[in-house]
Amino acid sequence: MTKQGMVVPVPEAAVAVPPNSAPLFQYPPPRAAPGVAVRKKCLQMGAGAGRIGGWVESMRASSPTHAKAAAALAAGVEEERYAAWMVKHPSALAMFDQLVAASKGKQIVVFLDYDGTLSPIVDDPDAAYMSDTMRRAVRSVAKHFPTAIVSGRCRDKVFEFVKLAELYYAGSHGMDIKGPAKGSRHTKAKGGGVLFQPASQFLPMIEQVHDSLVEKTKCIPGAKVENNKFCVSVHFRCVDEKSWITLADMVKSVLKDYPKLKLTQGRMVFEVRPTIKWDKGKALEFLLESLGYADCTDVLPVYIGDDRTDEDAFKVLRKRGQGVGILVSKHPKDTCASYSLQEPAEVMEFLLRLVEWERLSKARPKW
Ligand SMILES: O=P(O)(O)OC[C@H]1O[C@H](O[C@H]2O[C@H](CO)[C@@H](O)[C@H](O)[C@H]2O)[C@H](O)[C@@H](O)[C@@H]1O
């Protein structure tokens, strides 16, 4: 029996380990989640897969009739690709019962990315607000489980958006970690505990690079440089596609004088970061350790994120053979996450279900 009193047809360990990593799981691969049929409708007509994409493009250019047929074919290919992807990364909502069954006897710890996970992606990074309903959902989650926000943003900035003092915050892609400002039942610290900044010696360099990038890119309309304290973001979401290469070259030319910094790419953003071996995955491990769950089998970390930098955390969960990685995406993507959710609205639904499940499981008599 699960905590909900329902029989789950999957062994307990099955969900804690990633369903798409062959050596780790021993149960039949999950069937396509019930959500697949509905989700197919949401598919956008994207570029076709591989060679078919180029083929479709040339047909489109040569004949409108063929273009329609080619577009339909491309949509079909994409739909199949999505359905296959969903088998490997089923919806965390559709698999909810199996997923929580894996937490039996374990402490769930929740890790949440911010942009694209708790707030929808918008053009202006300063206006990526979180809804009040999402805030309420995260607050409820934090009442039941230790909860951390893990973001590429500067920690103070992400706190301004989230506004919940009872959470752990890991800003600058995990390079700036702080415990709850308000005492929480998940930490013995009175408030303001656990502060870790493994890249503090990079601060002056990051400041310099930030200023150079602002100066260098100011001639590119729409480019925006954001100071994230231990890293810098150069946004190109609002830059004309024709100028993307120029912008990338500008960023690279600034960075050539800073061999200790590296350049990665997120969602329409270049991210400049110190070369130290620290990322969201390391931050997850650090926080688990701070909470007393290092090398523990009785913990189930749940990490939800949408971006490439979240993959470092998904990889850690895979390596530990423990926990639940959930990618937020409407499109098939290469990922180490085991499950998927389509968008922040589904993330909120998942969080509320988790709270309700925990509430009911506490109320249920133990047999
Ligand atoms: O780790 P995250 O919390 O997901 O932060 C990653 C980057 O998120 C922000 O940029 C992204 O969201 C913006 C607002 O929706 C959007 O305009 C931008 O195109 C996205 O890349 C943030 O502004 C960056 O600094 C973070 O690195």
Domains along the sequence of the chain with CATH: 105-198+279-363 (3.40.50.1000), 201-274 (3.30.70.1020)
Report CA(236)–ligand 1 centroid distance (Å). Answer: 11
pLDDT at 19 over 70: no
- In the set 113, 279, 310, 312, the catalytic residue is 113
Residue 303, pLDDT > 90, answer yes
- Mind giving me the DSSP string for 195-259? EE-TTGGGHHHHHHHHHHHHHHHTTSTT-EEEE-SSSEEEE-TTS-GGGHHHHHHHHHHHHTT-T
User: Which pLDDT score is estimated for 66?
Assistant: 61
Nearest residue (CA) to ligand 1, atom 13: 125
Which of the four pLDDT bands, split at 50, 70 and 90, describes residue 361? confident
% of the chain with per-residue pLDDT over 70: 77
The per-residue pLDDT for 49 is 33
> pLDDT per residue over 165-212, tens digit each?
999 999 999 999 999 986 666 554 555 677 899 999 999 999 999 999
Q: What is the mean pLDDT of the chain?
A: 83
Q: Tell me which of 115, 233, 263, 270 to substitute to probe ligand 1's pocket, judged by most ligand atoms within 8 Å of the beta carbon.
A: 115
Residue 113 known to be catalytic:
yes
Average pLDDT over every residue of 126-145: 98
Cα distances (angstroms) measured from residue 208 to each of 227, 256, 260: 11, 13, 13
- Residue 235: count of CB within 10 angstroms of its CB: 21
Cα of 94 to ligand 1 centre, how many Å? 28
| Residue 53 confidence (pLDDT) | 37
Does the pLDDT at position 5 exceed 80? no
Where is pLDDT greater, at 251 or 14?
251
Q: Could you identify the atom of ligand 1 that is nearest to the CA of residue 120?
A: 15
Query: Given strand 261-266, what is the order of strands in its sheet?
Result: 224-227, 232-235, 269-274, 261-266
In ligand 1, the atom with minimum distance to the C-alpha of 233 is 25
Q: Packing angle between helix 344-363 and helix 132-144, nearest 10 degrees?
A: 40
> Of all protein residues, whose CA lies closest to atom 27 belonging to ligand 1?
152
pLDDT by residue (tens digit) across 43-99? Answer: 322 333 333 333 334 334 444 556 677 787 888 888 899 999 999 999 999 999 999
Say if residue 40's pLDDT is above 50. Answer: no
Question: Of 34-43, 59-68, 234-243, which has the strongest mean pLDDT?
Answer: 234-243
Cβ contacts of residue 345 below 8 Å, gap of 6+? none
Query: Could you tell me the pTM of the whole model?
Result: 0.82
Ligand 1 center–CA 224 separation, angstroms: 12
The pLDDT of residue 67 is 64
Q: What is the pLDDT of residue 226?
A: 98
Report helix, strand or coil for 263. strand
Quote the ligand 1 centre to 159 CA distance (angstroms): 14
In this prediction, residue 294 carries a pLDDT of: 87
- The yes-or-no verdict on residue 250 having pLDDT over 60 is yes
Q: Which residues line ligand 1 (CB under 6 A)?
A: 113-116, 121-123, 125, 128, 151-153, 226, 228, 233, 235, 237, 266-269, 271, 307, 309
CA 153–ligand 1 middle distance (angstroms): 7
Q: Where are the beta strands (DSSP E) in the chain?
A: 107-112, 147-150, 168-171, 176-178, 195-196, 224-227, 232-235, 261-266, 269-274, 299-305, 324-328, 339-341
